[in-house]
Chains A and B, each alone.
Chain A
């Protein structure tokens, strides 16, 4: 993949005081995103609003669509029209996007979707935080596939990870999610946007060979075919049906093996390159706390208290939540007595941790039904109990 410095036009270099939602919009503009289709939903709307305000000055376009179904559908069209594209939403909107998430996955269309999570189910607690879409984002559309999801824990990381999300999306031709939440989304902190020349972005890998030889797909399970832009004379075809290298429908079980295996393997075989983790004091730890997003910041306090109480406690923060850090969790599960997993849901990612720990150590869920972050004492209690 060709990495180049960001187009300075979209980069608002300098130190800013931004909330996470606004930082996502700036990350998108810095990454070269010039098309945004969205539908208002609390607590994500500020990203759309900032993009709408900023786009006419940078050669971009914002459109407020009639719903989230249309928003993600428009991204599929716009990506094949040659643009880097994004949308933002929250749980109920994410539910509506699941249909065309499948289309994006199947047609291998790059796009970035930020999910500023709130507490559900249904309308739930629209203005309060949750981390309840972690499994929906992974499994929500029908069929077998993979996506990539990153989880920022600060406005600064909202900016940084949005740039990275676009880079991953172009590299693997896959939808990439920013799984943030109401608290990070609405939290104002210092965000430093580097000079454009220091922000590396992956440009769209455009095909430039003979027109008749263009194939929108190759099913290697390792990498992806280059794309083209509508209007450049390649006369491409893409479909949500099971297809061959030309993009033509090929409705056989054998072809579905090729397509599905590729969609899964292009992510799984590159998982080590994609996954980013942040570990602290894991060597010699009795207890490991695994967390992501806003919960990681509550964990910091709980772990500080645990260490003061004499418990050797390590932390692992999932910056990349999907693909899941299977190998590392399996390794660490063999070294600690227990893994504690607090998350603002009834226990979602903890199932992955349990699967990977495979009985090597205790795995303790610290659930929360949403609407607030954990009380650090509750996590501390779980750590204390886990090491007994």
Chain B
């Protein structure tokens, strides 16, 4: 007995059909790769957040994670290597009504794009950056990245990595990010919640997701397949939301400290611009045709929407606890 597989029906009936450009499926990612998990979590977070998808834009750089922009059914820009953050900055500033999310990899965001990352965090630019950290340049064949743990093997460190890696939450925190979290691709519920928080957060939010590159990093380091990576995360990843970000570095196959490490209030770049100009220029000041009272009204409405979104996140958290979902309460921190 055989059932004919109808691609059209499959695409139309996919629960992701609302969120993904189904005509572009199948995607390019390898079996066991963690990027798809993050896309799933992103879709789930967007759905739950009730955010207007017409006002949500995704910008990616280059690499495996850089392909996310091409698959999501949103305004999306697949930019150049490392430049997703400045492109997102321009997009956000040109059209402040947008929520702009950068999804890219470790090589893209903190390798070639490191300068843009630190400055966007410093400015508290109101964008969300999701960095899928697989410790390797996947698209180009498994080279060492600025996050590869010492001793790990990469195609350009064939005798093991001898460089000191970045710890991304520490970097983001030190540079002024106002929301910083780290999870692994095993912790889908936490990623989803963090993305929801990020979507309603005002300012630069940074979410690092540790994810396996099975084809290159796992295989080259003889770490098994995707399931083995998830087993490692289950074994070694622990939530510590009180931890100082100075202490969350990751050694080769060592402990992974996860959690929402930072959440603080600080005026965003555009708020700082508005405040400064309005102080000096008063009602003469206009941002893209908006007068000072109009802008203040808009800011008030946005603050209300954010508070409402956050309340929804917390309600659902309480509901999940009540249903005893088998999820560690700490893990939802």
Contact = CB atoms under 8 A, between A and B. Distances in A.
Contacts of B59: 77
Q: Is the interface of A mostly helix, strand, loop or mixed?
A: mixed
Which has the most chain B C-beta neighbours within 10 Å: A65, A66, A99? A66
B273 A77 contact: no
A77 B75 contact: no
Interface string B83-115: 101111111111101100000000000000001
10 tightest A-B contacts by CB? A81-B94, A77-B90, A74-B90, A77-B91, A78-B90, A78-B94, A73-B86, A239-B78, A70-B86, A81-B95
Contacts of A233: 54
B272 to A, nearest CB: 12
A57 B284 contact: yes
A231 B281 contact: no
Interface in A24-59: 34-35, 37, 56-59
Contacts of A75: 90
A63 interface: yes
A175 to B, nearest CB: 14
A77 B74 contact: no
A230 interface: yes
Contact of A230 (B53, B75, B83): B75
Contact of A74 (B73, B76, B87): B87
A69 B53 CA distance: 29
A79 B80 contact: no
Given A67-B115, A99-B80, A231 B286 contact: no
Interface string B108-125: 000000011001000000
Interface residues of A, number: 48
Interface string A131-174: 00000000000000000000000000000000000000000000
A248 B77 contact: no
Contacts of B273: 61
Contacts of B288: 34, 59-61
Contact of B86 (A57, A69, A249): A69
9 contacts: A57-B284, A70-B119, A80-B91, A81-B92, A83-B94, A231-B57, A231-B95, A238-B77, A248-B70
Contacts of A235: 53-54, 73-76
Interface residues of B, number: 45
A226 interface: no
A241 interface: yes
Given A61-B94, A73-B80, A100-B80, 18 more contacts: A35-B93, A37-B90, A56-B287, A60-B288, A69-B83, A74-B89, A76-B79, A77-B87, A80-B77, A80-B91, A81-B90, A81-B95, A82-B95, A85-B94, A230-B57, A231-B55, A235-B76, A238-B78
A239 B75 contact: no
A66 B85 CA distance: 11
A93 to B, nearest CB: 14
A236 interface: yes
Interface of B: 21, 23-24, 53-55, 57, 59, 69-70, 73-80, 83, 85-95, 97-98, 115-116, 119, 273, 277, 281, 284-290
Nearest to B125: A63
A237 interface: yes
A376 interface: no
B289 A59 contact: yes
A239 B72 CA distance: 13
A254 B23 CA distance: 20
Given A78-B91, A81-B92, A231-B54, A70 B289 contact: no
A212 to B, nearest CB: 12
A70 to B, nearest CB: 4
B90 A237 contact: no
A103 B80 contact: yes
Contacts of B89: 63, 65, 70, 73-74, 77
Given A59-B286, A78-B90, A70 B116 contact: yes
Contacts of A70: 83, 85-86, 89, 115-116, 119
B57 A56 contact: no
Contacts of A236: 75-76
A77 B290 contact: no
Interface in A299-324: none
A85 B91 CA distance: 11
Nearest to B91: A77
A56 B281 contact: yes
A82 B281 CA distance: 26
A57 B286 contact: yes
B114 to A, nearest CB: 10
A151 B57 CA distance: 37
B281 A77 contact: no
A81 B93 contact: yes
Contacts of B73: 235
A81 B89 CA distance: 10
B69 A237 contact: yes
A231 B97 contact: yes
A279 B87 CA distance: 42
A139 B254 CA distance: 49
A236 B98 CA distance: 14
Contact of B77 (A34, A66, A77, A249): A77
A83 B95 CA distance: 8
Contacts of B91: 77-78, 80-81, 230
Nearest to B23: A248
B93 A74 contact: yes
A232 interface: yes
A240 interface: yes
Contacts of B70: 237, 239, 248-249
A102 B62 CA distance: 14
B28 to A, nearest CB: 10
Contacts of B75: 80, 230-231, 234-237
A229 interface: yes
A35 B94 contact: yes
A85 B93 CA distance: 12
Contacts of A78: 90-91, 93-94
